[in-house]
Structure 1
Amino acid sequence: MRLAKRLALGLSLILAGPAMAQNLRIGIQAPPSTLDPHWLLNLANTGALRNIYDTLVARDDQMQLRPGLAESWRVVDDTTWEFKLRPGVRFHDGSPLTSADVAASFQRVPNVPGNPNPYTIYLSGVTGVEPVDDLTFRIRTSGPLPILPTNLTQIFIVPRSVAGKGNPEFNTGEAAIGTGPFRVTSWSTNAPLVMRRNENWWGGRVPWETASLVPIPVDSARVAALLAGDVEFINNVPLQDTSRIQGDRRFALFAGPSIYAANIYLDVERQSAPGVDAGGQNPMRDVRVRRAMSLALNRDGIARQIMEGYADPTDQPVPPFIFGAIPDRPVPAQDLNAARALLNDAGFPQGFGLNLFCSPARTPRICQAVAAAWTRIGIRTTVEVVPQATFLPRRNRRDYGVFLSVFGSLTGETSYILSSQLHSVGTVPGLGTLNFTGLGAPETDALIVRARATLDDAERARLLRGLVQHTVDESLIIGVGLLRSVNAGTAGLTARARADEEVLAVEIAPR
Structure 2
Amino acid sequence: MKMRSLIATAVLLSSTSLVSAETLKWARAGDSLTLDPHAQNEGPTSTLAHQIMEPLVMRDHSGALVPALATEWAPSTDNPNVWTFTLREGVTYHDGSAFNAEDVVFSLNRAMTPDSDYKELLASVKEVRAVGDYTIEIETDGPNPIMPNNLTNMFIMDKGWAEANGAVKVQDYEGGEDTFAAKNANGTGPYKLVSREPDVKTVLEAYDGYWGADEFPLAYTTIEYTPIQNAATRVAALLSGEVDFIQDVPVQDLERVASTDGLDVRTAPQNRVIFFGLNAGDADLANDNVEGKNPLADVRVRRAMSMAINRDAIKQIVMRGQSQPAGMIAPPFVNGWDETMDASSKTDIEGAKALMEEAGYGDGFSIQLDCPNDRYINDEAICQASVGMLAQIGITVNLDAKPKAQHFPLLSNLETDFYMLGWGVPTYDSEYIFNFLVHGRTDKYGSWNATRFTNDGLNEKIVSLAGNTDLEARNADIASIWEAVQEEAIYIPLHHQVLNWGMKSSVGTVVEAEDSPKIKYFEIN
Query: Which range, TM-score by smaller chain?
Result: 0.7 to 0.9
Deviation at 1:313, TM superposition (A): 0.8
Q: Matched residues in 1 for 2:317 and 2:20: separation?
A: 40
Radius of gyration: which is bigger? Answer: 1
What is the aligned partner in structure 2 of residue 319 from structure 1?
A: 331
What is the aligned partner in structure 2 of residue 261 from structure 1?
A: 273
Q: Is 2:389 the counterpart of 1:373? A: yes
What's the CA shift string for 1:256-288, capped at 9, x where partnerless?
223332212222223433343457543333323
Q: Is 2:223 the counterpart of 1:212? A: yes
Which of residues 366, 373, 381 in structure 2 aligns to 1:360? 373
What's the CA shift string for 1:54-76, capped at 9, x where partnerless?
21111234655333332332223
Q: Is 2:486 the counterpart of 1:481? A: no
What's the CA shift string for 1:87-146, capped at 9, x where partnerless?
6656556776543443344356568xxx97565554434343333344433222344444
What's the CA shift string for 1:392-422, capped at 9, x where partnerless?
4444454443333333445443323322332
Q: Say if 1:71 and 1:85, in contact at 8 Å, map to a contact too.
A: yes
What's the CA shift string for 1:438-476, capped at 9, x where partnerless?
211222112112223323444333322322232123312
Instruction: From the superposition, tell whether residues 431 and 109 of structure 1 become closer, same or farther in structure 2 (CA, over 3 Å).
Output: closer
What is the aligned partner in structure 2 of residue 128 from structure 1?
A: 127
Q: Matched residues in 1 for 2:279 and 2:252: separation?
A: 33
Q: Matched residues in 1 for 2:485 and 2:387: separation?
A: 22
Q: Write the letter of the residue equivalent to 1:433.
A: S
Q: Write the letter of the residue equivalent to 1:194.
A: L
Q: Matched residues in 2 for 1:250 and 1:340: separation?
A: 52
Q: Write the letter of the residue equivalent to 2:222.
A: A
| Aligned residue pair count | 485
Q: Matched residues in 2 for 1:62 and 1:263: separation?
A: 26
Q: Say if 1:24 and 1:208, in contact at 8 Å, map to a contact too.
A: no
What pairs up with 1:60-459 in 2 under 5 angstroms?
60-61=60-61, 63-76=63-76, 77-86=79-88, 98-106=100-108, 109=111, 117=116, 119-158=118-157, 162=161, 164-166=163-165, 167=167, 176-178=186-188, 180-187=189-196, 189=198, 190-196=200-206, 198=208, 200-201=211-212, 204-219=215-230, 220-277=232-289, 281-327=293-339, 329-361=342-374, 362=376, 363-376=379-392, 378-388=393-403, 390-426=406-442, 429-459=443-473
Q: Matched residues in 1 for 2:350 and 2:94: separation?
A: 63
Q: Say if 1:273 and 1:400, in contact at 8 Å, map to a contact too.
A: no
Q: Matched residues in 1 for 2:80 and 2:161: separation?
A: 32
Q: Secondary structure of 2:55's match?
A: coil
Q: Matched residues in 1 for 2:218 and 2:52: separation?
A: 15
Instruction: From the superposition, tell whether residues 510 and 436 of structure 1 become closer, same or farther in structure 2 (CA, over 3 Å).
Output: same
Q: Matched residues in 1 for 2:92 and 2:203: separation?
A: 22
Q: Matched residues in 2 for 1:52 and 1:485: separation?
A: 24
Q: Matched residues in 2 for 1:326 and 1:402: separation?
A: 26
TM-score, with length taken from structure 1: 0.82
Q: Matched residues in 1 for 2:119 and 2:68: separation?
A: 20
Deviation at 1:355, TM superposition (A): 3.6
Q: Matched residues in 2 for 1:33 and 1:152: separation?
A: 20
Q: Say if 2:248 and 2:499, in contact at 8 Å, map to a contact too.
A: yes
Identity across matched positions, percent: 27
Instruction: From the superposition, tell whether residues 130 and 269 of structure 1 become closer, same or farther in structure 2 (CA, over 3 Å).
Output: closer
Q: Matched residues in 1 for 2:281 and 2:192: separation?
A: 49
Deviation at 1:52, TM superposition (A): 2.5
Instruction: From the superposition, tell whether residues 348 and 187 of structure 1 become closer, same or farther in structure 2 (CA, over 3 Å).
Output: closer
Q: Is 2:67 the counterpart of 1:57? A: no
Q: Write the letter of the residue equivalent to 1:459.
A: A
Q: Matched residues in 2 for 1:128 and 1:301: separation?
A: 50
Q: Say if 1:185 and 1:194, in contact at 8 Å, map to a contact too.
A: yes
Q: Matched residues in 2 for 1:31 and 1:254: separation?
A: 22
Q: Say if 1:56 and 1:70, in contact at 8 Å, map to a contact too.
A: yes
What is the aligned partner in structure 1 of residue 26 from structure 2?
A: 26
Q: Say if 2:34 and 2:183, in contact at 8 Å, map to a contact too.
A: no
Q: Secondary structure of 1:496's match?
A: coil
Instruction: From the superposition, tell whether residues 64 and 349 of structure 1 become closer, same or farther in structure 2 (CA, over 3 Å).
Output: farther
Q: Matched residues in 1 for 2:369 and 2:305: separation?
A: 12
Q: Secondary structure of 2:164's match?
A: coil
Instruction: From the superposition, tell whether residues 393 and 70 of structure 1 become closer, same or farther in structure 2 (CA, over 3 Å).
Output: closer
Q: Matched residues in 2 for 1:73 and 1:448: separation?
A: 25
Q: Secondary structure of 1:50's match?
A: helix
What's the CA shift string for 1:342-399, capped at 9, x where partnerless?
33443444444444333334422212222222222x2232231243354344444544
Q: Write the letter of the residue equivalent to 1:461.
A: N
Deviation at 1:481, TM superposition (A): 1.1
Q: Write the letter of the residue equivalent to 2:203.
A: L
Q: Say if 1:185 and 1:196, in contact at 8 Å, map to a contact too.
A: no
Instruction: From the superposition, tell whether residues 100 and 243 of structure 1 become closer, same or farther in structure 2 (CA, over 3 Å).
Output: same
| Unaligned ranges ≥5, structure 2 | 1-18, 168-178
Q: Secondary structure of 1:325's match?
A: coil
Q: Matched residues in 2 for 1:392 and 1:172: separation?
A: 19
Q: Write the letter of the residue equivalent to 2:252.
A: Q
Instruction: From the superposition, tell whether residues 203 and 139 of structure 1 become closer, same or farther in structure 2 (CA, over 3 Å).
Output: farther
Deviation at 1:209, TM superposition (A): 4.2
Q: Matched residues in 1 for 2:349 and 2:197: separation?
A: 53
What is the aligned partner in structure 2 of residue 10 from structure 1?
A: none
Deviates more, 1:433-442 or 1:381-390: 381-390
Q: Say if 1:100 and 1:131, in contact at 8 Å, map to a contact too.
A: yes
Instruction: From the superposition, tell whether residues 325 and 284 of structure 1 become closer, same or farther in structure 2 (CA, over 3 Å).
Output: same
What is the aligned partner in structure 2 of residue 500 from structure 1?
A: 514
What is the aligned partner in structure 1 of residue 174 from structure 2?
A: none
Q: Say if 2:276 and 2:493, in contact at 8 Å, map to a contact too.
A: yes
Deviates more, 1:304-313 or 1:406-415: 406-415
